[in-house]
A and B are shown apart, each in its own frame.
Chain A
Amino acid sequence: SYVVTQPPSVSVAPGKTASIPCVGDNIEFYRVHWYQQRPGQAPVLVISFGYDRPPGIPARISGSKSANTATLTISRVEAGDEADYYCQVWDPTSDQWVFGGGTKVTVL
């Protein structure tokens, strides 16, 4: 089945930009969604279909895709952005959802 890979952790200074990659074969052709999960809370959708922000999600959070990498970008990072971030892909070949292993973003 399809596999997507995320780095376990990313560290970023306040005010800087964090980029979280989600790597998968030809991921540019897949539906990719992103979730933020703060400690002790349920995940929250932050990007759907690779680029779309749900209502209430700040414009500082954006998504993009290239051939084999989908990327979640958080600009002007704040302390409140410290959380785990997961990418999610629907694999139409196996009719299954796949989550990346998650990336812990630490604000220095």
Chain B
Amino acid sequence: VRLVESGGGLVKPGGSLRLSCAASGFTYNYYTMNWVRQAPGKGLQWLSSITGNSNYIYYADSVKGRISISRDNAEKSLHLQMDGLGAGDTAVYYCTRSLLGTTEAAFDIWGQGAMVTVSS
């Protein structure tokens, strides 16, 4: 069971970025997937969740309107589109799986994280 994020890097303020997460080792379409970020030296911040069939999508109030989550079950991939990036978006972004596939279940699998730095 593995999650591997990609797409991180250096972005100018006001720019956009699309993160991806490749899943393997489990029946991907059964599970709710999530994005969590962690600013340098700070705690964990949940960003968004999407159910297995994409019927339900949830966003944190703090980023709603600037981000969009999506998934491709055929490709076993998860994506996070982020727009209007600012310095406060500098963080490690983690892709996670929800245990049991239900929305309120714990995040039992985490990727290694993708670093996003917003700087001019």
Contact = CB atoms under 8 A, between A and B. Distances in A.
Partners in one complex: yes
Interface residues of A, number: 26
B105 A95 contact: no
Interface string B32-43: 001000000001
* Interface size, B (range): 20 to 34
Given A1-B61, A42-B112, A97-B49, A49 B106 contact: yes
Contacts of A67: none
A96 B46 contact: yes
15 contacts: A1-B61, A33-B107, A35-B44, A43-B94, A45-B99, A45-B108, A54-B99, A54-B108, A86-B43, A88-B44, A88-B46, A88-B106, A90-B103, A99-B44, A99-B46
Interface of B: 34, 43-46, 49, 58, 60-61, 94, 99, 103-108, 110-113
